[in-house]
Amino acid sequence: MNWYGVKAIYYFEMARSLRTLMQSLASPVLSTSLYFVVFGSAIGSRMGDMNGISYGAFIIPGLVMLSLLSQSISNASFGIFFPKFSGTIYEVLSAPVSPFEIVLGYVGAAATKSIVIGLVTLLTARIFVDYSIAHPFWMIVFLLLTSVTFSLFGFMIGIWADDFQKLQIIPLMIVTPLTFLGGAFYSISMLPEPWQSLTLFNPVVYLISGFRWAFYGVADVSIGLSLAMTFLFLFLCLTGTYWIFKTGYRLKS
């Protein structure tokens, strides 16, 4: 294992983020504040408890997950797209680092940044509403698994994209709508059939449900199924990344 190569990529990506630290942190803080003003205060004050939890506290896992998914994808996709765009990716590919070490450096940096932003979102939520974490260990597990999985997904998007516009297509048109429809701001048990059953085909449901269970011990689907689906997404992303380096898809041409 070439740890020097991994650390070089990791530190370079982290240094790039530090140059835009205020922008990176200000955006989730502002977004979280607006969500709590609109949903927590304006709408939440007119709604009853959700499974015995105040509405303001109920939406916290969904807000963190929304921030985590978007930041993981954007950080990882831009991190690998920019070397492709500038042509420096060939220097990385010709360096004495393996594909695994390249992915470890880029994805590790993206996951670190998204975890920090997720924690900042949690701290911001504390300003507006009191909440507790029933299962801190599993909260950290879901936080890590989700950030790594979607950083891998973002890494693949960055390799697939051939212009800056394509970097935003999947996050804006697929991931964000799936998050809003995945129970971020409501329980899917509130939906009538057949919509409740159809929602179970939304992969983000399992991420949000498992994360909410870690906070309050309540979930729309079983914690075992949430964990299984999360590991399945991670496996698919690992498989896709392996295929990219094995074939050289949009890396060697």
Question: With contact defined as beta carbons under 8 Å apart, do 131 and 215 qualify?
Answer: yes
Question: With contact defined as beta carbons under 8 Å apart, do 111 and 18 qualify?
Answer: no
**Is residue 252 domain-resident?**
no
The domain in which residue 59 lies consists of: 3-247
**Is residue 224 domain-resident?**
yes
Cβ count within 10 A of residue 4 = 10
Rounded Cα distance, 84 and 89, in Å: 5
Domains in the chain: how many in total?
1
Output phi, psi for 27, to 5 deg.
-65, -50
**Is residue 253 domain-resident?**
no
At 25, is the pLDDT very low, low, confident or very high (cuts 50, 70, 90)? confident
At 134, is the pLDDT very low, low, confident or very high (cuts 50, 70, 90)? very high
Cβ count within 10 A of residue 37 = 12
Q: What is the pLDDT of residues 200-253, one digit of tens each?
A: 899 999 999 999 999 999 999 999 999 999 999 999 999 999 999 888 888 765
* Dihedral angle, C-alpha 20, 25, 31, 35, nearest 10 °: 170
Q: What is the pLDDT of residues 59-82, one digit of tens each?
A: 889 889 988 998 899 889 988 998
Instruction: State the pTM of this model.
Output: 0.91
Question: With contact defined as beta carbons under 8 Å apart, do 160 and 241 qualify?
Answer: no
